[in-house]
């Protein structure tokens, strides 16, 4: 499914720049066992592979605060789009991030 969070796939969701030599990856905001669920509900964003996704100091995989903020944004958006309550979200994703 397409992202319900980010419409413009040509720019990084975190730094808002285009590819600029660092290609964009599709980041599943809820990963691991919830990766397929993130995909199913469109809870993904596009991030620069090195700087904003995997290796950078402020990347989704290295920075706790960035990761939690993305989870909060995703939860709020999912609740808006799907008409879920916070409890509905918890049933699917195991906890609440707001």
- What pTM did the predictor assign? 0.90
Residue 73 pLDDT level (bands cut at 50, 70, 90): very high
The pLDDT of residue 20 is above 80: no
Query: What number is the average pLDDT over the span 5-22?
Result: 88
Residue 89 pLDDT level (bands cut at 50, 70, 90): very high
3-class DSSP assignment, residue 44: strand
Domain ranges in the chain are 24-93
- Residues 70, 76 contacting (CB under 8 angstroms): no
Q: How far is CA 14 from the centre of its chain?
A: 10
Regarding predicted confidence, which is higher, 4 or 17? 4
What distance in Å separates the CA atoms of residue 96 and residue 93, rounded to the nearest whole number?
8
3-class DSSP assignment, residue 54: helix
């Amino acid at each position: 499914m397409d992202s319900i969070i980010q419409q413009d796939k040509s720019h990084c969701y975190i730094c808002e720049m285009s590819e600029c030599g660092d290609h964009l990856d599709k980041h599943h905001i809820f990963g691991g066992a919830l990766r397929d669920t993130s995909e199913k509900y469109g809870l993904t964003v596009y991030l620069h592979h090195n700087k904003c996704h995997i290796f950078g100091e402020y990347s989704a995989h290295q920075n706790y605060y960035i990761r939690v903020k993305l989870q909060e944004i995703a939860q709020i958006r999912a609740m808006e789009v799907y008409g879920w309550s916070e409890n509905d979200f918890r049933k699917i994703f195991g906890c609440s991030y707001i």
